[in-house]
Amino acid sequence: MSTTTSAVRSHAEAVQVSRTVDYLGLFILFMVLTGSYHIHGMLTMGDWDFWSDWKDRRLWVTVYPIVMITFPAAVQAVAWERLRLPWGATICILGILFGEWVNRYFNFWGWTYFPINFVFPTAAVHMAIFLDVVLMLSGSFLFTAVIGGLGWGLLMYPGNWPIIAPLHVPVEYNGMLMSLADISGYHYVRTGTPEYIRMVEKGTLRTFGKDVAPVSAFFSGFMSILIYFLWHFVGRWFGTVKFVKKT
């Protein structure tokens, strides 16, 4: 067989080869995203995602969407532009959540015995599906950046509230008011993570009374729009074929 002859001899064989390429490609894509997006996530929003006593209504809401819209924007740029596949964001989030759950279950719980209710990751599939659906229905990266990016930021907190609300029930503990999440952070000793490292409830956003989360979410949404544009071009640059010689 030379380079100019076909590797397959029939249509059925071509279909079979094509599907094999699909499954191999999907597996590789999923595992590469699991690893690379996971590293990116841990380096940028690590502790906010690790611990329930970091999941606050200000910084978690702000930081998580901004730093996590990166890979979805880049993968969408390639998957939609080259293949018209509308699941670029969702595959990223499924990958990182798979990696995070493996890490939290086997490492945080199985190895160091932190309870799962203290170390669960942030739910983000709803944000990713929204981003993908907006891209598919609009077919426009500009529209996806503005509406999808804003929705990405806005949906994060309400989508996670059913998971974290039970941990925000108040407790009077040795004369101090603490949430159950605060008590988890106090009880389950993190020798290398002293309390002052915790970046929660900091900032000057005090003019909206107790309704801080929506303002943080809007800010996060606006920033997500900008980061979406930036990482869209990272994706295009990463997905270029101009260095491949045409035969």
Restricted to residues 85-104, the positions that interact with other proteins (CB under 8 A) are 85-87, 90-91, 93-94, 97, 101
Rule CB under 8 A: is residue 25 a binding residue for other proteins?
Answer: yes
Residue 180's contacts (CB-CB under 8 Å, 6 or more residues apart) are: 166, 167, 168, 169, 171
Rule CB under 8 A: is residue 18 a binding residue for other proteins?
Answer: yes
Question: Residues touching other proteins: how many (CB under 8 A)?
Answer: 87
Cα distance between residue 54 and residue 45, in whole Å: 10
Are the C-beta atoms of residues 58 and 202 closer than 8 Å to each other? yes
Rule CB under 8 A: is residue 62 a binding residue for other proteins?
Answer: no
Are the C-beta atoms of residues 57 and 213 closer than 8 Å to each other? yes
Rule CB under 8 A: is residue 19 a binding residue for other proteins?
Answer: yes
Binding to other proteins in span 167-206, by CB under 8 A = 167-184, 186-192, 194-196, 198, 200-202
Judged by CB under 8 A, the stretch of 33-41, 69-77, 107-115, 226-234 that binds other proteins is: 107-115
What count of Cα atoms within 13 Å lies in the side-chain half-sphere of residue 168?
10
Cα distance between residue 73 and residue 235, in whole Å: 7
Rule CB under 8 A: is residue 145 a binding residue for other proteins?
Answer: no
- Please identify, using beta-carbon distances, which residue of 78 and 234 lies nearer to other proteins: 78
Judged by CB under 8 A, the stretch of 67-75, 156-164, 214-222, 232-240 that binds other proteins is: 156-164
For residue 2, count other CB atoms closer than 10 A to its CB.
4
Rule CB under 8 A: is residue 226 a binding residue for other proteins?
Answer: no
User: Minimal distance in Å, beta carbon 148 to other proteins?
Assistant: 11
Q: How far is CA 188 from CA 48, 49, 53, 116, 176, in A?
A: 16, 16, 11, 11, 18
Binding to other proteins in span 113-132, by CB under 8 A = 113-117, 120-121, 123, 125-126, 128-130, 132
The amino acid at residue 90 is: T
